[in-house]
Structures are given as C-alpha cells and as structure tokens.
C-alpha cells in the first residue's frame, strides 16, 4: 500500500506557528500579517514569512487591499491535505496491524517453545 505524500505541503504544516496561523484564519475567515501577529508570540515579519510558506504550499491565498494583503485559507486544498493525512494514517494503521500480527506469532512460538521446555 503506497500513499503519495506532498512533501511541500507537510513541510509547510509541520511548523506549529503555521498550524496556528491556519487555525486563526479558519476561525476569523481572513487576516493580515499585522492582525494575525497580535495572536502569536512572533513578529509581524515572521508571520508574513510563515504566510508566504503557506501560500507557496497552496494552503492560503492573498488578496491585496491598499497596502495590506489579506489571507484566506484555500478550503479545497485544505480538504485535499486532510484526505491525504487520512490516507497516510490508514497506511500506517495497516503496517502496524501487520507488525502486531508478526509479533504475536513470534510470541506464540516462544510461548510454545518454553512450554515444551518445562515439560521435559
């Protein structure tokens, strides 16, 4: 079972500040670097850089109004990212079930061997 992973996407959401930005944008609907920085322990410039990473990954899009850029979450891209994460989770669940079955088989073999050794 092979799942295609978008490394740029997961690199973008791998950072806790960027995940927090996504949360804020989802809650507020949109935001500017200045407004979003008021909710985070980082500077406006740092927020702008994080938003640029999210924009390159396609998770947010900006529109310009005067001197400010207003960012919104791309709901379709976020939905695809969520589906991709679910696929990755399902693939790992299947791997872990196989590992568990192998470990249980090994343990049963050891239990059987130790039981045979005790009877002698």
The average confidence (pLDDT) of the chain is 90
Q: In the structure, what pLDDT confidence band is assigned to residue 114 with cuts at 50, 70 and 90?
A: confident
pLDDT digits (tens, 9 = 90+) for 19-45: 999 999 999 999 999 999 999 999 999
Q: Where are the domains of the chain?
A: 1-120
Bigger pLDDT: 85 vs 58: 58
User: What CATH number is given for 1-120 in this structure?
Assistant: 1.10.10.10
What CA–CA distance (Å, rounded) separates 28 from 30?
Answer: 6
Q: Which of 69, 15, 67, 63 is nearest to 42 (CA)?
A: 15
The DSSP annotation for 68-108 comes to: EEEEEE-HHHHHHHHHHHHHHHHHHHHHHHHHHHHHHHHHH
Res. 16: pLDDT tops 90: yes
Q: What is the mean pLDDT of residues 46-73?
A: 95
% residues pLDDT > 90 (the chain): 72
Res. 4: pLDDT tops 80: no
CA of residue 81 relative to chain centroid, distance: 8
Global confidence as pTM: 0.73
CA of residue 84 relative to chain centroid, distance: 9
Res. 120: pLDDT tops 50: no
């Amino acid at each position: 079972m092979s799942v295609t992973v978008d490394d740029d996407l997961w690199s973008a959401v791998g950072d806790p500040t960027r995940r927090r930005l996504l949360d804020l944008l989802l809650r507020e609907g949109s935001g500017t670097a200045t407004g979003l920085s008021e909710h985070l322990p980082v500077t406006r410039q740092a927020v702008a850089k994080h938003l640029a990473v999210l924009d390159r990954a396609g998770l947010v899009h900006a529109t310009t109004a005067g001197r400010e850029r207003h960012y919104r979450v791309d709901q379709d891209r976020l939905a695809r990212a969520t589906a991709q994460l679910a696929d990755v989770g399902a693939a790992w669940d299947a791997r872990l079930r196989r590992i568990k079955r192998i470990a249980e088989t090994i343990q049963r073999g050891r239990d059987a061997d130790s039981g045979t050794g005790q009877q002698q």
